[in-house]
Structure formats: structure tokens, C-alpha cells
Amino acid sequence: MILEHARGTVDLDHCLVMGIVNRTPDSFFDGGRLGLDASVEFALGLVAEGAEILDLGAVKAGPGAEVGEGGELDRLIPLVAAVAAASDVPISVETARGSVVSAAVESGAAIVNDVSGLADPGLAAAVAESGAALVVMHNGGQIRGRPRHPVYEDIVVDVLECWETLTTEALAAGIPRERIVVDAGLDFGKTTFHSLELMRRLDEQVATGWPVLVAPSRKDVVGETLELPLEERLEGSLALAALAAYMGAAIVRVHDVKASARAVRMAESVSRRRSPGSPVRGLWD
């Protein structure tokens, strides 16, 4: 499977590791980094650790202070331009604003990661015009706030129906199928039980034929399952990333790139999506 984007294509025959770079003061895990130079250095460090896509964000997706369009552009566009000038790794931008899309793609972005469920009526059209790929996500109707007793008859069915709606809207706006990725949105508008069920039944999501992005990194599904604070959620995050890769996810979005890349590679060697790097044991002449 090939994913087309504004800067070319990427091969999805193996699971790609997407590294997270938050240029925000209130990122839920790392606190973000507002300085441009520090953000660029961090992004390039993730590439050195094995990131195959970078996801750059300037507005916290969860609860937090509101950031206006001007503030988002001021934080995001210089970062996109600087990283694009220093690396050929495809850049994704996490934004819910169609007005940000064109500026981001002109500055070097290749993919738009929209966690809002196409809440901005102009976003899909802006993506289509820009030539970028689009990630659409099930969020349960809750983005900025914490979920309050969400109820689903079947969370997987609800996600699949949401994807059908969002992908149909994206296609109607002129975005080719080869430029669309779907995300079930772990934690977003969901309890830990919902997120665990989505991981347990990831094969049903992969069977839709859409490239599936899984973003488990440091989330409450890990913290509540293992009863651990944010800073101690690495191992649980790696377990979910490895499981996602084994079950056929196209992309895993993570904070801890080096460890995640190794976990993904190991899992895919077991599932035969990828060959072992140096299989010489017992094969000497």
C-alpha cells in the first residue's frame, strides 16, 4: 500500500513510526517547547532515532488554553519551514483549521492530521487543493474537554461508521483515496475500556482497507490500565505500539521514537511484515 502526500509517497508495507513534536506550553506529556531552535533540534533528533514521519503541533488537542489562528500560525509555520529545510522526512501538521493548511503545506508540510472530525467545513477542501494527505479521527464528539460517561453500543462499529462518514466527506471534497488515513482516536471521547476494545479488535479496523494510524503513546488507556503516571507509561505505550504493528497498523504516533521503532520492528518480524535484519544464528557454514 502506498500513501500519497504533498511531497511524494511513502510505502506502507511496514508500519511507519510518526514522531510527535509539540510546540506548545501545555502538551499533556512533555510540556511542549516554545522556542523555535529547541523545537527544530528536537524534531531532527527524532529523525535520527528513526522517525519516518514527524507530526508537528502548535495547539494542544486536549483540554487547555484556547489558541487563536494567528497564534497557531506563528508557532507552527516557522517550525514546519525550518524542519522541512533540514530534513526530507514527511511532515504532518496537527491542525483543525482549514486556514492553516495552505500555509503549512506551502512551508513544507505533506500531511494534515485533523483530530476534530472535519469540524471546520473548509478543511477538507483546503487539503484537497494543497495536495496533502489527510488523517481523519473518531473523537466521540469531545476534543477540548475530558470525556463524561461516553456510551457506545459497540465502540468499534461506531468508529467504523464515523470513518465511513469522514472518508466520504473527504472524497467528496476531492481528496483521493490514496491520500486518506484513519485513526480510531484512543482516549478521545472514550473510557479506558473503549480504548482497550479498539486495540483488541484492531484487525476489524485494518480490514476496512484504509491505512490505520494508532496513537497510544503515554495515554490514559496506558496509565489507568497499569496505574501509572505520565512519566512511567513507556512500557505500556511500547506494548500497544508493538501490538498495533503486529495487527497491521500503517502508522504509530509516538513520543518515544527510538524504543518504539525497535518494538515495531520486532513485532513485524514476528508477523512477517518485515524480515529480520541479520538472521545468521545457526546458519554458519
User: Domain range holding 196?
Assistant: 2-271
* Residue 182 and residue 250 in contact, taking contact as beta carbons nearer than 8 Å: no
Establish if 215 belongs to a structural domain: yes
- Tell if the pTM clears 0.75, that is, is over it: yes
Choosing from 190, 219, 233, 265, which is the catalytic residue?
Answer: 219
Give the model's pLDDT for residue 149.
Answer: 84
Establish if 277 belongs to a structural domain: no
List the one residue out of 79, 96, 77 whose CA is nearest residue 87: 79
| Mean pLDDT (the chain, rounded) | 94
Which CATH number do you get for residue 12? 3.20.20.20
Choosing from 7, 75, 253, 265, which is the catalytic residue?
Answer: 253
Gap between the terminal Cα atoms of the chain: 37
Better pLDDT: 36 or 149: 36
Establish if 285 belongs to a structural domain: no
Give the model's pLDDT for residue 33.
Answer: 59
- 62 exposure class (CB count in 10 Å sphere: 0-12, 13-18, 19+): middle
Report percent pLDDT > 90 for the chain.
85
**What pLDDT, in 10s, does the model give residues 85-130?**
999 999 999 999 999 999 999 999 999 999 999 999 999 999 999 9
**What pLDDT, in 10s, does the model give residues 139-159?**
998 665 677 789 999 999 999
Establish if 283 belongs to a structural domain: no
Give the model's pLDDT for residue 67.
Answer: 84
pLDDT of 28 > 80? The answer is: no
Mean pLDDT, rounded, for 225-246: 98
For the question of residue 253 being annotated catalytic, the response is yes
Secondary structure (DSSP) of the chain? -EEEETTEEEE-SSPEEEEEEE-SS--TTT-----HHHHHHHHHHHHHHT-SEEEEESS-SSSS----HHHHHHHHHHHHHHHHHH--S-EEEE-S-HHHHHHHHHTT--EEEETTSS-STTHHHHHHHHT-EEEEE--TT-SSS---S---S-HHHHHHHHHHHHHHHHHHTT--GGGEEEE--TTTT--HHHHHHHHHTHHHHHTTSS-EEE--TT-HHHHHHHT--GGG-HHHHHHHHHHHHHTT-SEEEES-HHHHHHHHHHHHHHHTSS--S---TT---
Mean pLDDT, rounded, for 162-172: 99
State how many domains the chain has: 1
Establish if 246 belongs to a structural domain: yes
Give the model's pLDDT for residue 27.
Answer: 54
Establish if 259 belongs to a structural domain: yes
Establish if 278 belongs to a structural domain: no
For the question of residue 258 being annotated catalytic, the response is no
| Amino acid making up residue 266 | M
Q: Model confidence at 62, in pLDDT bands (50, 70, 90)?
A: low
pLDDT of 284 > 90? The answer is: no
